[in-house]
Structure 1
């Protein structure tokens, strides 16, 4: 054992120390943790340390996955010129100073950023001192990664035409539990877990961790048409929402739950999905081979539609605007899809064909290579 600057005992190590910066939302955290797992598979002697803030989901997610978390001040970027913009330089300086102290204390050999307000101070603190690797999951690159890419040893992105010069397209790092999911082998267990019909074609519906009101309204409004077509439904409506669906005697169950703790079982139980199309959602749904009806968020910069477009172009999904998502449209799209086994099989193969199941290992090798090279 060795003793660190704070006096705390620290384990002796021979491998590299990889610092990941991907806090805030699950879209940043999950790829970062998938990368962390891949690094440990390839280099069991390595150490992975995550950067985070008190306001992000990483506060609970990262420790639960077994990785140490170092807190730094957040640097949220104002969307409009206001008083917060005037305070930004002071906030950046404070966050960079704290982050630089963390990098020195943990002995960082490489910093890997995934965007968001944790990544920006990490990039600035590491610049010229520690090699940087950037990964962006989105079709439109955010400001933090545009900055980080200027100093990075390697830059990786999920899709082509991201706008980052010299970026390598590798896809999105995913958890092993998703990459190796055998839906067919788990189907019976998954259907029993949720109380679904063991044999009926089944639609998985979700709108993110908080649900999506437009999706909830449209799909629940089509419940009778789906039931009469012999289709079961597993619908995660969000913990702050309620959903009441009248059962149709003799029809497959419409199971409504606030939240899906076991996404692996949800994917295994389903034959198709109807959901939003955030980058992580599209990557996971495609990786497990689920045909999908993607409904982009009706606000923002149009990024969600771009995330889904490669799968749609490949024949693994269809895209419908939020404003067009009515109960009639749900029935029109879902019933022909789920009652045609040949179409489901073709769409499933097409969805899997658009993915990058090896992305986590590819990124891990890039990271370990950058750590070995050091700062030139």
Structure 2
């Protein structure tokens, strides 16, 4: 069997696709995997690094909503659809699995014309245009939130990297804290704002550092590779460790008791899966999807939610510190997050692939 994955552009599309690829290979080491991508996306680095074939097709940006620009898409898509179809034919694809992004729509259209079974996975609470269209062509639609309005939606969560999906935080905590130079016994706040950091989070934490440290809380803070942040704890105070980037998110999660972060779909899924309570600060731009991503786990009791404009040192002191310094609240919120989270989405999506292939041959 050969499976073609269509989900290039951003890590939010690529990582779930690669997690599915890994799960397919665990089940059957001989399965063929090809990822569709463009020359401008992160897939040019991430896909080959994981050992999978990457087939490049032209990028056709899609409007987020139906607009007059949408009328020009079919003409711009024709060549891209032909190239996607050529990949399906060359690989004798048994199934195409789309994750959204620039390459998903031509992948869906090419697969529909060729009679190749389609599976759709939508990571965000608010689906993109490509997946809305793809969901019309298949009954096999996987989503990351239980209240998704996407057609034929089946809630499975987001396929995660194996290091995250199988993480035992308690077992790894001591080793993880030692790796970052943290105290093994202090309550620990992890702060990050995505791969590039988040200025708002950095500035607020810098202004709150003194109060956090005075309360006995230590901090592991990924400030971003291009952001300067220097925090020097006074003698005898807990550590405040600032890094430009976290190479091992599994170790960071194991070291932490609570997280302050944005609310990307992958972030919400990973923190829920490993049972980490978080204070989510959705990006104040875009279509509001980050707030929607965080709302289900917050509603389940596994996190807090605050608007970007309301994130202040006082808010952290009034809402985050009381959780970090109360082991019972930390435990309760972590358990609620874990009960909401899904660690087996990769295996559930593998089953959907087999269902789609079997249905096509029934």
TM-score range, shorter chain: over 0.9
Q: Answer whether contact 1:130 1:375 (CA < 8 A) is retained.
A: no
Residue 272 (structure 1) aligned with residue 258 (structure 2) = yes
1:56 counterpart = 2:56: no
Retained in 2: the 8 A contact 1:295–1:320? yes
- Is the alpha carbon distance of 1:153 and 1:85 closer, same or farther for their aligned partners in structure 2, counting shifts above 3 Å? closer
| CA distance 1:246–1:181, shift in 2 (3 Å) | same
Aligned residues: 361
Match of 1:136 in 2: 122
Other-structure match for 1:176? 162
SS in 2 for 1:168: strand
What are the within-5 Å matches in structure 2 for residues 111-260 of structure 1?
Answer: 111-128=96-113, 129-260=115-246
- For 1:105 and 1:143, locate their aligned partners in 2 and report how far apart those are by CA, in whole Å: 27
Bigger shift: 84-93 or 236-245? 84-93
Aligned Cα root-mean-square deviation (Å):
1.7
Equivalent position to 1:44, from 29, 33, 40 = 29
Q: Which runs of 5+ in 2 are unaligned?
A: none
**In 2, Cα distance between equivalents of 1:95 and 1:351:** 41
CA contact (8 A) 1:109 1:374 kept: no
TM-score of the superposed pair, with normalisation by structure 1? 0.92
Which residue of the partner structure matches residue 249 of structure 2?
Answer: 263
Contact 1:131 1:375 in 2 (8 A): no
Q: Does 1:306 align with 2:295?
A: no
Deviation sequence 1:95-144 (CA, Å, 0-9, x none): 10111111111111100001111101100111142010001011111100
Matches within 5 A, 1:281-360: 281-360=267-346
Distance 1:81 1:283 in 2: 28
1:154-209 deviations in Å (ceiling 9; x for gaps):
11111133222221111111122111101112112111111112211110000011
Structure 1 residues 208 and 230: CA distance shift in structure 2, 3 A = same
Residues 275, 294 of structure 1: 8 Å contact kept: yes
Secondary structure of the 2:8 match is coil
Residue in structure 2 matching 1:109, options 84, 94, 109: 94
Question: Which residue matches 1:10?
Answer: none
Structure 1 residue 323, shift from structure 2 partner:
0.1
Aligned with residue 4 of structure 2, among 19, 43, 49: 19
Specify the alignment match of 1:75 in structure 2: 60
Unmatched 5+ residue regions in structure 1?
A: 1-15
> How far is 1:308 from its partner?
0.9
Contact 1:131/1:153 (<8 A) preserved: no
SS of residue paired to 1:156: strand
More off after superposition, 244-253 vs 312-321: 244-253
How far apart are residue 45 of structure 1 and its match? 2.5
